[in-house]
Amino acid sequence: MTETSRRVLVTGADTFWGARILRALEGDAAIEMLLGLTSSAAAGTFERARLVCTEPTYSALRGVVCSSQVDTVIHPAMIVGSVHASGHEIHEANVISTMNLLAAAGTSGSSVRHLVVKSSSLVYGSTREDPATFSEETPRSDVPRTDVERSLVEAEGLVDDFAHDNPSATVALLRVADVLGAHIVTSITKNLSRPMCPCVGGFDPLVQFVHEDDVVRAVELATRHRLAGTFNVAGPGRLPWSEVAAICKTRRLPLPPVRPALAMAPLARLGIFDFPPELDALLRYGRGMDTSRLVAAGFEYRYTSVGAVQSFAHRLLHPARSARAPLSAGTAPPPRPRSRGTPAPGRRRGPRREP
Amino acid sequence: MIAESPRLSDVDEWGRSERIRALARRVYAPVYSHWFRVEWEGLDKIPTAGGALLVGNHAGAIPSDAPVIMHGVETELGRRVYGLADYFFRGLPVVGTLWSRAGGVPARPDNAYRLLHEHQELALVFPEGEKGPSKPYAKRYQLQRFGRGGFVEIAMTAGVPVVPIAVVGSEETMPLLWQIPQLARVLRIPYFPVTANMVLMGPLGLAVPFPAKFRLRVLDPVTFDVEPGRERYPKSEVLEESERIRASMQHALDDMLRRRRSVWFG
């Protein structure tokens, strides 16, 4: 771009987002060196990016940061769903890893000048007291009660501290809404791909989604333009959960409003549905975000919230990825993937950890 | 932007659905015109374009004033009205969803600001809050404290006028005789009323208001001579304006009560 070439480090090369972002940045000619941190041998192969094996919590990163002289660190590896990770694992992955990463980035001798962190809209929470729309400045209404929310709030605090301690560095914090797309697997995508999806009886909350491609493009933009500040990343507009289910042609299975997780426990145990505590709150009160700040910074969304759901549903209902057949009304949808182990044809399987 | 198929519902970002709202109006129309026989005075003072904060007096144990004002303005002026109310409704299964689809929005300053300033809509708020409907019948038509003047501050920030509406008839639809605080605590609701309707009709009294004659008077819109968009305004200014609006509404109520010949026939 305008300045000299960049040296970029991306965390979590073995996670969904780390790999996606590395692949996207490989095409960027302005990047001279691209490093991916991985803690397992399971990471995929990359054309240009070099992988650096580290310990999962990124302790002892100082040497890597200093010797490689990276100027940009992208941290997309935080866990934003609590189904496949215990509270302890989430804490290690989000708080401890971020702490170690930022300590290494801020150490003397480090040449890190730009930091991009992918956080989640979960930091806003979801309660009945919430405003219809969260702007980046709106505080959450309650104290975080779930492990994943608590750890993300804490990690964002660490990012704030880093920005405070390194005033010369630009720090972009991206708060990403619930993601849908062709490849990502989350509790929500899993539930929506069943013939029935859970909802909390009597509630039909407004939810907001962002397409996975837009998330990758937002990270790219934040990196390229060296954005500083907090940005919501969420497709414009929002829609009721009933409409989401209708677009995905799945019926809603109402759970009792009192302790729905308890009613869901057997089905969740069987692996048919995911019902993490953060989903309970979302399916009651929903969450909406102001998307104007990132747009003002030069971002153009390719998908609205509704568009993201429709794109996801299209892939779900037409897994063969043949010619774009219109969504046929009145005919039974094709069989859906039944178990976690067998991804639908045409769907690459995201790593287990994300999100 | 990738092209999209048409939406499957018409729920907007506030949770309001025009289809459900139209259905609600159709159901409510006979109540409005035959049960309460609503009559307006000065309806033309409500702006036909741009945001405005409608402010009313709140009364009757389960208040009918909110649906009456929303129904009246929407049918007579053809403008949407969003009703700001306690977020307590949002926590109720079924009721909360219907409330939201029918135009209810949790009363929060940021919600009100977006509605009034960014969307230039009409929003209805009752500054007395629950203190209005939960007061005993003996205190009818005595305006309670107008909160902390938040409604004035919102209108100032959003740069929109406040349009006060004095409502007569609402107090008699459901006279509150007693409260049962213990039951309210157990049910986690703001107050549990025992109304004259319940004494006469039993549990049905919760749903059926008395057919009092409704008269509404729209007062002159109040604009504020302050620069909009500020986060905070001097409390003295805010409370002064709030008190002035409250006094003008109380004055209008007293005048309307003096002219009223009968509770039931107006």
* Assembly ipTM: 0.90
DSSP letter at B45 equals G
- Chain B: closest CA distance from residue A226 (Å): 24
* Chain A CB contacts of B97 below 8 Å: 202-204
Check CB contact of B19 with chain A, cutoff 8 Å: no
The residues that bridge with B194 in the sheet, in sequence order, are B178
- Asked if residue B151 belongs to a domain, the reply is yes
Set of chain B residues whose Cβ sits within 8 Å of the Cβ of A130? 106
Q: Which of A131, A203, A303 faces B93 most closely, judged by CB atoms?
A: A203
Whole-number pLDDT of residue A60: 83
User: Mutate which of A209, A210, A249, A310 to disrupt the B interface (most B C-beta within 10 Å)?
Assistant: A310
**Per-residue confidence in pLDDT tens, chain A, 355 aa:** 445 679 999 999 999 999 999 999 999 999 999 999 998 876 678 889 999 999 888 888 898 998 999 999 999 999 999 888 899 999 999 999 999 999 999 998 899 999 999 999 999 999 999 999 999 999 999 999 899 999 999 999 999 999 999 999 999 999 999 999 999 999 999 999 999 999 999 999 999 999 999 999 999 999 999 999 999 999 999 999 999 999 999 999 999 999 999 999 999 989 899 999 999 999 999 999 999 999 999 999 999 999 999 999 999 988 865 444 444 333 344 444 444 443 444 434 434 444 4
Residue A122 at interface with chain B, using a CB cutoff of 8 Å: no
The reply to whether B100 falls in a domain is yes
Q: Is A135 an 8 Å CB contact of chain B?
A: yes
In-domain check, residue B266: no
Yes or no, beta carbons of A240 and B9 under 8 Å apart: yes
CA atoms within 13 A on the CB side of A11: 28
B32 touches chain A (CB under 8 A): no
How many angstroms away from the CA of B17 is the closest CA of chain A? 11
On whether the CB atoms of residues A224 and A28 are closer than 8 A, the answer is yes
Residue A181 in contact with partner chain B when CB distance is under 8 A: no
Let me know if residue B221 belongs to a domain.
yes
| CB–CB contacts below 8 A, A to B | 79
Determine contact, residues A327/B5, Cβ cutoff 8 Å: yes
Indicate which of A133, A211, A252, A299 best probes the interface with B, i.e. most B CBs within 10 Å of its own CB: A133
pLDDT at B74: 97
Supply angle C-alpha A82, A232, A298, rounded to 5: 140
Burial of B78 (0-12, 13-18, 19+ CB in 10 A): exposed
Q: How far is B15 from chain A (nearest CA, A)?
A: 7
Q: Are A112 and A171 in contact (CB under 8 A)?
A: no
The reported pLDDT for the residue numbered A352 is 42
Among candidates A132, A257, A284 on the partner chain, residue whose Cβ is nearest the Cβ of B14: A132
Low-confidence ranges of chain B (pLDDT < 70): none
pLDDT of residue A325: 41
Taking the Cβ of residue A204 and every Cβ of chain B, the question of whether any pair is shorter than 8 Å is answered with yes
B92 shares contact with chain A (CB less than 8 Å): yes
Q: Answer whether A113's CB lies under 8 Å from A72's CB.
A: yes
Cα atoms in the 13 Å half-sphere on the side-chain side of B36: 29
Mean pLDDT over each residue of chain B, to the nearest integer: 95
Q: What is d(CA B57, CA B68) in angstroms, rounded to the nearest whole number? A: 12
Is residue B155 included in any domain, yes or no? yes
**Who contacts B227 (Cβ-Cβ below 8 Å, separation ≥6)?**
none
**Of A202, A284, A307, which is closest to B94 when you measure between CB atoms?**
A202
For chain A, domain boundaries: 6-178+212-234+289-303
Report the residue of B7, B8, B119 to disrupt the A interface, i.e. the one with the largest count of A CBs within 10 Å: B8
Cβ of A128 within 8 Å of Cβ of B111? The answer is no
Does domain A6-178+212-234+289-303 match CATH 3.40.50.720?
yes
User: Residue B60's domain is classified under what CATH number?
Assistant: 3.40.1130.10
Q: Is A133 on the interface with B (CB under 8 A)?
A: yes
* Residue in this structure with the two tokens 């104290």, named with its chain if needed: A143
| Residue A354 pLDDT | 43
Per DSSP bridges, beta strands B122-125 and B52-56 are: parallel
* pLDDT, position B31: 97
Task: Give the chain A residue nearest B89 (alpha carbons).
Answer: A128
- B199 inside domain: no
Structural domain containing residue B125 = 18-176+213-259
Bridge-based pairing state of the strands A239-240 and A206-207:
antiparallel
CA closest to A214 among chain B residues? B1
Instruction: For residues A196 and A182, give the distance between their C-alpha atoms in angstroms, rounded to a whole number.
Output: 20
DSSP one-letter code for A249:
T
Contact B11 A201 (CB under 8 A): no
Q: What residues in B contact A131, CB-CB < 8 Å?
A: 106, 108, 110-111
Question: Are A52 and A14 a contacting pair, CB within 8 Å?
Answer: no
Strand order in the sheet with B162-168: B39-41, B215-218, B162-168, B52-56, B122-125, B81-85, B104-106
Angle at A27 between CA A23 and CA A30, to 5 degrees: 125
Answer left, alpha or beta for residue B3, where phi above 0 means left and psi between -120 and 50 means alpha.
beta
The beta-carbon neighbor of B9 closest among A201, A243, A284 is A243
Q: Considering only the beta carbons, identify the residue of A201, A284, A304 that sits closest to B4.
A: A304
Contact between B110 and A242 using a beta-carbon 8 Å cutoff: no
Answer for the pair A310, A178: CB distance below 8 angstroms, yes or no.
no
- Closest residue to A128, CB basis, from B8, B91, B105: B91
Work out whether strand B162-168 and strand A206-207 pair parallel, antiparallel, or are unpaired.
Answer: unpaired
User: Is B162 exposed, middle or buried (CB count within 10 Å of its CB: 0-12, 13-18, 19+)?
Assistant: buried
Question: Which of A239, A287, A315 to substitute to test the interface with B, most B CBs within 10 Å?
Answer: A239
Side chain identity at residue B122, one-letter code:
L
- Closest chain A residue to B104 measured between Cα atoms? A132
Other C-beta atoms lying within 10 Å of the C-beta of residue A300: 10
Which of B2, B9, B90 minimises the CB distance to A303?
B2
Residue bearing tokens 């609205």: A304
Instruction: With beta carbons under 8 A apart, name residues in chain A contacting B116.
Output: none
- The values of phi and psi at residue B103, to 5°, are 105, 10
Q: Which of A206, A302, A314, A317 to mutate to test the interface with B (most CBs of B within 10 A)?
A: A206
Q: Which phi and psi angles does B56 have, rounded to 5°?
A: -130, 170
Helix, strand, coil shares of chain A, percent, nearest 5, are: 35, 15, 50
- The structural domain count of chain B equals 1
